[in-house]
Structure 1
Amino acid sequence: MSSTQMILRIDEKVKGRLDRLARMEGKTTSKMLRELIKQYIEERDIAPYIDGLWDKIGAKLSAKGATAEGVGEAVKTVRSRRK
């Protein structure tokens, strides 16, 4: 995994507290920040969840013999009924 450098400006007191907490956990401040950023992204990025839902839906439709063309026609039919 390649990495890139990022410059971050934070309050001195906050940095001191972060340094202390990182040391208490036996980590560097950089490692602590990498973990926190990764956790933040994992908790808020719903794209993998949505992709998983589409995969499950696709698998269920395929198991029932549905095709892409058939699904497209079904969507058109339902939409035309709503007008």
Structure 2
Amino acid sequence: KIYVRDGQEGRKIRTHFCPTCGTTVFWEADLRPDHIGVAVGAFHDANFPPPTVSVWEESKHGWIAFAHDLRHFQGMPT
């Protein structure tokens, strides 16, 4: 199953879900057609490395907090 929404400047973002349980599996965006984002929860590995970068913080909810040692970006880094 795929959910398509408008991203920044009208570009599309497509989120792909497991058709059985509805879990987000990966997403792709018109902005970066050569990239896909894979949900970390899709990996059954307790040793999966933690994030090092946080992007699009300009649109995060105020109650979300990230570790201070991450690289922080309000939008997509250039």
Same fold (TM over 0.5): no
Q: Which has the higher strand share?
A: 2
Higher helix share: 1
Instruction: Identify which of structures 1 and 2 has the higher relative contact order when contacts are C-alpha pairs closer than 8 Å and 6+ apart.
Output: 2
TM (normalized to structure 1)?
0.19
Larger radius of gyration: 1
| TM-score, normalised by the number of residues in structure 2 | 0.19
